[in-house]
Amino acid sequence: MNERLPPLMTAVVGLSCLSLGGLVWLGQELGWYRSSPQASRLLDLLQSPPAEPPADRSAPRPPLLISWHSPLAQQCPAVDPRLRRQLQKLASSLPRRTFRIRTDPSNYGERYSRDAYGNRVDPTPRVVVLHETVYGIQSAISTFLTPHPNDADQVSYHTLVGLDGQVVQVLDPSRRAYGAGNSAFQGQWVITNPKVGGSINNFALHLSLETPLDGEDADPSHSGYSQAQYDATALVLAAWMRQFPIPWQNITTHRHVDLGGERADPRSFDWQALQKRLLALGVMRC
pLDDT in tens, 218-264: 999 999 999 999 999 999 999 999 999 899 999 999 999 999 888 99
Q: What is the pTM of this model?
A: 0.79
The DSSP H or E segment spanning 242 is helix 227-243
Counting Cβ atoms within 10 Å, is residue 198 exposed (0-12), middle (13-18) or buried (19+)? Answer: buried
Higher-scoring residue by pLDDT: 94, 51? 94
- Residue 23: is its pLDDT beyond 60? no
- Residue 130: is its pLDDT beyond 50? yes
